[in-house]
Homo-oligomer: A and B are copies of this chain.
Amino acid sequence: MSAQTMTTSDRDTRHNERMQRKKTVVDEKIAAAQAERGVLLVNTGNGKGKSSAAFGLVVRALGHGMKVGVVQFIKSRGDTGEEKVLGGLPGVSWHVMGEGFTWETQDRARDVATAAAAWERARGFLRAPEIGLVVLDELNIALKYRYLEIDTVLADLLARPTMQHVVVTGRAAPPELVAAADTVTDMTPVKHAFAAGVKAMPGMEW
């Protein structure tokens, strides 16, 4: 039977059969995944969505009654929509520790000191079992420029409480972090409005 002669009823029947088979496969996968523990998530790549996906998880975690700690390693602006809304919610501890983009500060020694202070804050969260989710926003940038040592960072991440989730964001995640992570997503740009001449819009980019 060709697609041309397939009626709506045929298509419905085929679809329903395919979905029955899919359900069997999905159910088997769900049955196989029974470990319960905190996961280390890394959002990297050059596309949009690394930080915003982390903030979406803050919302999810809060909805399940968890406490959340956020450290922003690079961003310095205090007027972001995410901080205004999430920073004020009960259960959220939000720390903007950066001093701006690396090409704005143009001062590596100061960036290193800033990153060290931010890591101290992060370490506090990583030692607190009452914090269910820790967001380390743009940590990958601090690692990329070697403002922080990957070994120190990994040791603290791996020593965290068993049920604590951590999300690390930023371009160019180091291979050691990718290896240690449970879930890694590369936000791959297919196209971006900025390249087409659209200004960074409030509500979209900050």
Residues of chain A whose beta carbon lies under 8 Å from any beta carbon of chain B: 11-12, 15-16, 19-20, 22-23, 26, 29-30, 32-39, 41-45, 47-64, 66, 80-86, 89, 101-109, 132-133, 145, 165, 178, 181-204, 206
Contact B33 A203 (CB under 8 A): no
Asked if B52 and A56 sit within 8 Å, CB to CB, the answer is yes
Q: How many whole Å from A155's CB to the nearest CB in chain B?
A: 21
Q: Can you list the 8 inter-chain pairs with the closest CB atoms, starting with the nearest?
A: A63-B81, A52-B56, A60-B81, A55-B56, A49-B53, A184-B190, A63-B84, A182-B193
When distances are taken between beta carbons in the complex, the residues of chain B under 8 Å from A54 are 52, 56
Report copies per complex: 2
**Quick one: which of B109, B184, B204 contacts A165, CB cutoff 8 A?**
B204
Across-interface contacts of A189 in B (CB, < 8 A): 184-186
Contact B52 A57 (CB under 8 A): yes
Chain B nearest CB, measured from A125 CB (Å): 15
- Bound CA span A50–B50, Å: 10
* CB <8 Å contact, A182 and B191: yes
Whether B59 pairs with A59 at a CB distance below 8 angstroms is yes
User: Does B56 contact A51, Cβ atoms closer than 8 Å?
Assistant: yes
Decide yes or no: A19 and B190 within 8 Å by CB, A80-B63, A82-B60 being known contacts. no
Cβ-defined contact, B48 with A183, below 8 A? yes
In the complex the two chains form, what is the Cα distance from A43 to B188 in whole Å? 10
> Chain B CB within 10 Å — which of A19, A82, A181 has the most?
A19
